[in-house]
């Protein structure tokens, strides 16, 4: 059994202080960030209500075979499915490094329904989250099938949360604080292709990709250069006539065939689309194409917040101090889970811990003006470095520094060295063994170190 006092074990000795104030807090969403926020807030002594529009926990990890009614997800009146997972998805991180620090993601080999692989399929991640909910008694905090439709910030720092159940019942309830954990892998970003209006083929976003069969014998172009394009292009190549990946990261003068495949080519970006079905690439090659599959990421979307609360400009959510607090509404409004390109679970865990500690008064924030100056300096650095706004919440370059800064605020130990090294080893393994990194690796020593540490969680 896992000890419920887990996080105190990574707390620096002698530095815990008692809870000062208990707040009534609304958490929006019961995905990874909402669940871990609920756990941290609850543990800190706050009174927590989690609003979840779905009838189950897990968010992204609650796989659905059905998709949005519009496969490109542009029609505002479409039926929306929250998750973007495809049937065959396996994690791109090893379970030791992926799981929460307070609740290791350990393989349960004795349970035959479980997937003990080191890089398990998505169902195993959902089982892990279900275990997390049951271990920390979170289910009683969650109101399922209840969508938050509006948040109003009132006098005396109170927030009125309007929610609507599936049956159409609308309720207004006042909270002291709101933590937004609504995820950012549901509203697709679609590549702009000159001439696309006259191009006769089909378009779909990877948000709506589930299985490869519909692409059988088709000529498919995938746009994108990240994990989804990598995995889905390989899966589709097993059934399609031809697969062409167009990415801004590929700058070759000519298309190149992907090693190990007869029908998978890598191109620079699409230059134009034409009435006869042809796509022309920047590398000057051209192909007659049946389907464009956009693996081009997602947009932040907060339909329940008024536009003057936070802005979303080219996927920059502003202003947010440390990607979490809008200075003018801190600490009554916070966002957990906006940052990307990191092992999300442990990071959202420490973000939640910080929010919980600030709401209880255990941890202090700088003044409003200091927070604004800090964010403005951050933006100026972005501009000086010529980085587009859309990368504002991509923390890849400073992820460990960011984690450790939050950890120091919360007075817990920095990220474990083995975890740090495991991310690096996994990245290198992906480059060396792109086809088999999930089943072959060389960081056995780090697995042993992780398991040594996990032992302390068992009584």
Residues making contact with ligand FAD (CB under 6 A): 28-34, 51-54, 59-61, 82, 84-85, 89, 91-93, 98, 147-148, 181-183, 185, 228, 304, 337, 343-345
Give the span between the Cα atoms of 410 and 216, in whole angstroms.
52
Beta-carbon contacts of 428 under 8 Å, excluding residues fewer than 6 positions away, are none
Burial of residue 109, with CB atoms counted within 10 A of its CB: 0-12 exposed, 13-18 middle, 19 or more buried: exposed
CB of 75 to ligand FAD, least distance (A): 19
Q: Which two tokens stand for residue 182?
A: 């609504």
CB of 391 to ligand FAD, least distance (A): 17
CB of 322 to ligand FAD, least distance (A): 16
CB of 85 to ligand FAD, least distance (A): 5
Q: Decide whether 144 or 379 has the Cβ nearer to ligand FAD.
A: 144
Q: Decide whether 181 or 359 has the Cβ nearer to ligand FAD.
A: 181
Q: Decide whether 29 or 255 has the Cβ nearer to ligand FAD.
A: 29
Q: Decide whether 32 or 287 has the Cβ nearer to ligand FAD.
A: 32
Q: Decide whether 194 or 434 has the Cβ nearer to ligand FAD.
A: 434
CB of 400 to ligand FAD, least distance (A): 16
Q: If we measure between CA atoms, which residue out of 336, 320, 300, 299 comes closest to residue 32?
A: 336
CB of 109 to ligand FAD, least distance (A): 21
Q: Decide whether 30 or 245 has the Cβ nearer to ligand FAD.
A: 30
CB of 186 to ligand FAD, least distance (A): 6
Q: Decide whether 75 or 301 has the Cβ nearer to ligand FAD.
A: 301
CB of 320 to ligand FAD, least distance (A): 15
Q: Decide whether 275 or 439 has the Cβ nearer to ligand FAD.
A: 439
Give the span between the Cα atoms of 432 and 446, in whole angstroms.
18
């Amino acid at each position: 059994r896992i000890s419920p006092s887990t996080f105190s074990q990574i707390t620096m000795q002698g530095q815990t202080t008692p809870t000062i104030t208990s707040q009534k807090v609304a958490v929006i969403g019961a995905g990874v960030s909402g669940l871990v926020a609920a756990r941290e807030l609850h543990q800190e002594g706050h009174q927590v209500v989690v609003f979840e529009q779905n009838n189950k926990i897990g968010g992204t990890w609650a796989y659905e075979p059905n998709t949005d009614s519009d496969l490109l997800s542009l029609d505002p009146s479409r039926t929306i499915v929250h998750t973007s997972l495809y049937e065959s998805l396996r994690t791109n991180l090893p379970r030791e490094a992926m799981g929460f620090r307070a609740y290791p993601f350990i393989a349960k080999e004795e349970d035959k329904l479980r997937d003990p692989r080191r890089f398990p399929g998505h169902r195993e991640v959902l089982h892990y989250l279900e275990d997390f909910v049951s271990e920390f008694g979170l289910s009683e905090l969650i109101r399922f099938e209840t969508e938050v439709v509006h948040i109003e910030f009132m006098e005396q720092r109170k927030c009125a949360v309007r929610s609507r159940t599936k049956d159409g019942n609308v309720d207004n309830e006042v909270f002291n604080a709101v933590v937004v954990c609504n995820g950012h892998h549901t509203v697709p970003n679609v590549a702009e292709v000159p001439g696309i209006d006259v191009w006769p083929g089909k378009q779909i976003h990877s948000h709506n990709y589930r299985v490869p069969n519909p692409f059988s014998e088709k000529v498919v172009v995938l746009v994108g250069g990240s994990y989804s394009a990598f995995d889905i292009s390989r899966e589709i190549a097993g059934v399609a006539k031809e697969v062409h990946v167009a990415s801004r990261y590929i700058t070759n003068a000519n298309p190149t065939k992907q090693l190990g495949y007869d029908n998978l080519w890598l191109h620079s970006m699409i230059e134009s689309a034409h009435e006869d079905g042809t796509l022309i690439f920047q590398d000057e090659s051209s192909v007659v194409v049946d389907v464009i599959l956009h693996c081009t990421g997602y947009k932040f979307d907060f339909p329940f917040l008024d536009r003057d609360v936070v802005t979303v400009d080219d996927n920059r959510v502003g202003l947010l101090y440390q990607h979490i607090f809008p200075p003018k509404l801190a600490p009554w409004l916070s966002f957990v889970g906006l940052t990307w390109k990191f092992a999300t679970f442990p990071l959202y865990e420490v973000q939640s811990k910080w929010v919980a500690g600030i709401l209880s008064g255990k941890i202090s924030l700088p003044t409003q003006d200091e927070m604004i100056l800090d964010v403005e300096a951050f933006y100026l650095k972005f501009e000086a470095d010529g980085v587009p706004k859309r990368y504002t919440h991509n923390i890849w370059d400073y992820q460990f520094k960011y984690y450790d800064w939050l950890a120091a605020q919360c007075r817990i130990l920095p990220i474990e060295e083995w975890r740090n090294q495991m991310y690096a080893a996994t990245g290198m393994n992906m480059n060396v063994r792109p086809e088999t990194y999930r089943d072959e690796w060389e960081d056995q020593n780090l697995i042993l170190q992780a398991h040594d540490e996990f032992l302390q969680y068992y009584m």
